[in-house]
Structure 1
Amino acid sequence: MYKRHIQSSVQTLLGQNAAVAVMGPRQVGKTTLALEIAGQQPSVYLDLESPRDLVMLNDIEAFCDLHQGKLIVLDEVQRLPGLFAPLRSIIDKRRRAGHKHGQFLLLGSASISLLQQSSESLAGRIAYAEMVPLSIDETAGQASTEQLYLRGGFPESLAANDEASSLNWRDNFIRTYLERDIPQLGPRIPAETLRRFWTMLAHNQGETFNASALARAIDTSSVTISRYLDLLVDLLLVRRLQPWHSNVGKRMVKAPKVYIRDSGICHALLGIETFNELLGHPVVGGSWEGFVVEQILSRLPAHTHAGFYRSSGGAEIDLVIEHKNKQRWAIEIKRNSAPTLSRGFHTASEDIAPTRKIVVHGGGSAFPMGNHVHALPLIQLIKQLGQEKPV
């Protein structure tokens, strides 16, 4: 059992709000988390993919009246978008009865933005949290960085008995999304077409998004390709990292970088089973960059601004983070344990004037690199991000 950072956050939100929605891709651990929280208080759990459970909500007001004073956990809420309208009156009724906080815990496999479109009626009554695959500090002592990087952070993939079993789990995960989950959400996209697109994103892990080039490869339009990307982003499977802009008087790259969010899913799309295969694959640099970016972004406080910096002249920083305390971190990502920096990083640093310059590398030691640049192992940076006030 992995101790998830998000658990304390969700419990805090339940103590402050009538409803909390936890969003994340399938199999990321949302149900396990919810049952752990629910087991600490009077509660009832319904899975909206179960016909038996779904029928209990035919008269949702009567069901909630029957379970007054309990935390009601509703899983896969995107399956019942009409649920949110009656929840408003139920929440207000419970509030009048003195039950103000911790009434509903909602779990969904679509993005927070999609759920918010369906839950406008719950404004002021609901808070949101995103659950991501396991992080390097959550798995410390149970899996190596190498294993987490290769297999990704979905608990069943990471805990598989061997590499073949892990890859088989991820292959089934991909197939289930393509053949069942996405069609249930409405988009009529041929599964094979979407798989080809998803696989092309894996081959181009960490590259700027070029809709025209991808469209030519699949023989479709740029508009359609952008729609495919929107879908995978909304399903929390792909990250679209926007360029960081500042008034530096230079021409900047405008296209976002695109990453498969889980490194294990990226490797499965490419048919990579072992670490040796990964080291010999052309995607290894972009794959490591995507792994590190996701690990870092998953540990940032809400509303922290992050992006990448790239000018048309070649100045580039892999990740720029703006902390609430006005600190600006420039982060370069290198898989090599003896990293070197290009002139482009130093030029970009002169452009944006970061308060801290960091190189995240694949080794286990921290050391200075000169010019106020510090090299850190990923786990050390993640621990620093877990502090309330990064230093």
Structure 2
Amino acid sequence: MYKRKIDVFIKSHFQKMNLMLLLYGARQVGKTTLLQRIFPNAVFLLVDNESIRQKLEEYDIYQYQEWLPKNTKQILIDEIHLLSNPGRAAKIIFDHMTKTQIIITGSSSLHIKNQASESMAGRFVSYQLFPLTFEEYVEQKDYRKSHKTDIIDRILLQKKEPLNKPLLFLKNDVLSNVLLFGGYPQLIKTPANIKYLKEYVETMLFKDIIELNLIDNRVAAKLLLKLLAHQIGNLIDYTELSRRVGVDQRTVRRYIEIFEESYILYRLYPFSKRERNVITRTPKIYFYDLGVRNAIIDNFSPIQQRGDMGAMFENFIISEFIKANAYKQDRYHFYYWRPKIGAEVDLVLTKDDKITGIEIKYQKLGESRAFRNRYKEAAFFQVTKDNFY
């Protein structure tokens, strides 16, 4: 089985601490596969299984000890968010089975936070698994046997590969495939599988949201998600979305938060040091996976024929930075910059006192001077299809 970038932190978790390990991520990004590979001897409890769910919802340590194998060293509770009170079940096991290592997955951080913030407080450390990075995709396709440096190393730190070997694949072809079909692990075995992506959107994408009763108007939610998918890289106009969906702005904001906490999309907020020359405080919208996004709008036209090619590449690059930052635990914060005068900068990264501007263009163009003139101390890079990998 292939390794993931996050492996090193998951493997060393219990060597460093005795807290529960909680792995978040959308359904089918590979959470269970990864954890069963790293913890092959853990007792596996799938909450999607009704009998397992009923047993866990007894919330009684004596009942747990009756049906769990004796001397259980590790327990893997898969999709714990489906419990009515996920934090209570985890807390009971953690507090009473002190020699047992507890590993948990969840596809809805919103439900876990709402239901478990108090009971699990101070008892867990969370990690997030995303769809495949470009490096992971290349590795799993067997194009190259070892991982290259990630996008933060290559662009921000300007690190070079120790061996400058030629690529064993056509980079632009692989990029086009990822932009169209995304990075869900299932697509390694069945590439360009539009049927899989469409079925995922129709069944799995809303599965937890509906089962957990997080949304009361499914028709409005699906329409809102489709409108957002058409607007990647654009400012969110809550008023216009409210008008087109037919619900109030508060509902629009709540649904977007649910989509975000379910790892479907994310918002990027403007960078500002409380400056008057920043034109907006409104966030932009992006999707964690472009294959899912393209399935939502039902458009798998070739990249070169699309009017949204630039927006898709921008979405892809920003997501690659977010994944690398999470996997490396690098502590970067992400924004965009949009002044009243001058061209905007697609991505701004801050860490401690350092500021870095990233201009994202599918093809190399002249660089914007506005950001560099405003923040003379900042580093600045342009990322294109030619230098991102």
Provide the TM-score with structure 2 as the length reference: 0.83
**Which among 231, 234, 243 is matched to residue 204 of structure 1?**
231
Equivalent in the alignment of 1:370: none
Aligned pair in 2 of structure 1 residues 314, 60: CA closer, same or farther (>3 Å)? Answer: farther
Q: For residues 86 and 221 of structure 1, what CA distance do their matches in structure 2 show?
A: 36
Q: For residues 67 and 258 of structure 1, what CA distance do their matches in structure 2 show?
A: 49
Q: For residues 208 and 92 of structure 2, what CA distance do their matches in structure 1 show?
A: 30
Shift in Å, 1:89: 4.4
Shift in Å, 1:158: 4.2
Shift in Å, 1:204: 0.7
Q: For residues 354 and 217 of structure 1, what CA distance do their matches in structure 2 show?
A: 43
Q: CA RMSD in A?
A: 2.2
Q: For residues 202 and 230 of structure 1, what CA distance do their matches in structure 2 show?
A: 15
Shift in Å, 1:313: 2.5
Aligned: 1:28 with 2:29 = yes
Q: For residues 108 and 237 of structure 1, what CA distance do their matches in structure 2 show?
A: 14
Aligned pair in 2 of structure 1 residues 119, 81: CA closer, same or farther (>3 Å)? Answer: farther
Equivalent in the alignment of 2:123: 125
Equivalent in the alignment of 2:134: 136
Once the two structures are superposed, the pairs formed by residues 86-101 of structure 1 within 5 Å of their partners are 86-95=89-98, 99=99
Aligned pair in 2 of structure 1 residues 192, 90: CA closer, same or farther (>3 Å)? Answer: closer
Shift in Å, 1:220: 2.6
Equivalent in the alignment of 2:341: 313
Q: For residues 55 and 183 of structure 1, what CA distance do their matches in structure 2 show?
A: 19
Aligned pair in 2 of structure 1 residues 69, 286: CA closer, same or farther (>3 Å)? Answer: same
Moved more, 219-228 or 174-183: 174-183
**Which among 240, 245, 248 is matched to residue 267 of structure 2?**
240
1:332–1:359: 8 Å Cα contact kept in structure 2? yes
1:304–1:321: 8 Å Cα contact kept in structure 2? yes
Q: For residues 225 and 288 of structure 2, what CA distance do their matches in structure 1 show?
A: 12
For 1:138, the aligned partner's letter is E
Q: For residues 211 and 247 of structure 1, what CA distance do their matches in structure 2 show?
A: 23
Once the two structures are superposed, the pairs formed by residues 297-336 of structure 1 within 5 Å of their partners are 297-300=322-325, 301=329, 303-324=331-352, 326-336=353-363
Equivalent in the alignment of 2:146: none
Q: For residues 8 and 81 of structure 1, what CA distance do their matches in structure 2 show?
A: 32
Q: For residues 376 and 84 of structure 2, what CA distance do their matches in structure 1 show?
A: 46
Q: For residues 136 and 206 of structure 2, what CA distance do their matches in structure 1 show?
A: 31
Percent identity of paired positions between Structure 1 and Structure 2: 24
Deviation per CA, 1:251-288, whole angstroms, max 9, x where unpaired? 331000111221111111222224x2x32222221111
Once the two structures are superposed, the pairs formed by residues 156-171 of structure 1 within 5 Å of their partners are 156-161=186-191, 163=192, 166-171=193-198
Aligned length: 348
Partner SS state of residue 187, structure 1: coil
**Which among 345, 366, 369 is matched to residue 340 of structure 1?**
366
Moved more, 150-159 or 30-39: 150-159
The unaligned stretches of length 5 or more in structure 1 are 364-376, 380-391
Aligned pair in 2 of structure 1 residues 68, 283: CA closer, same or farther (>3 Å)? Answer: same
Aligned pair in 2 of structure 1 residues 123, 139: CA closer, same or farther (>3 Å)? Answer: same
Shift in Å, 1:147: 1.9
For 2:79, the aligned partner's letter is E
Moved more, 202-211 or 246-255: 246-255
Equivalent in the alignment of 1:368: none
Aligned: 1:7 with 2:7 = yes
Deviation per CA, 1:12-37, whole angstroms, max 9, x where unpaired? 22331320110000011001011112
The unaligned stretches of length 5 or more in structure 2 are 144-173
Shift in Å, 1:129: 0.5
Deviation per CA, 1:123-171, whole angstroms, max 9, x where unpaired? 222000011100011122427232222211111134314x3xx111111
Equivalent in the alignment of 2:102: 104
Aligned: 1:186 with 2:196 = no
Aligned pair in 2 of structure 1 residues 319, 155: CA closer, same or farther (>3 Å)? Answer: same
Shift in Å, 1:178: 5.7
Deviation per CA, 1:305-342, whole angstroms, max 9, x where unpaired? 11111122344111111124x43211011111x3333x
Aligned pair in 2 of structure 1 residues 81, 55: CA closer, same or farther (>3 Å)? Answer: closer
1:2–1:139: 8 Å Cα contact kept in structure 2? no
Equivalent in the alignment of 1:251: 278
Shift in Å, 1:241: 0.8
Aligned pair in 2 of structure 1 residues 87, 232: CA closer, same or farther (>3 Å)? Answer: closer
Aligned: 1:378 with 2:384 = no
Partner SS state of residue 324, structure 2: coil
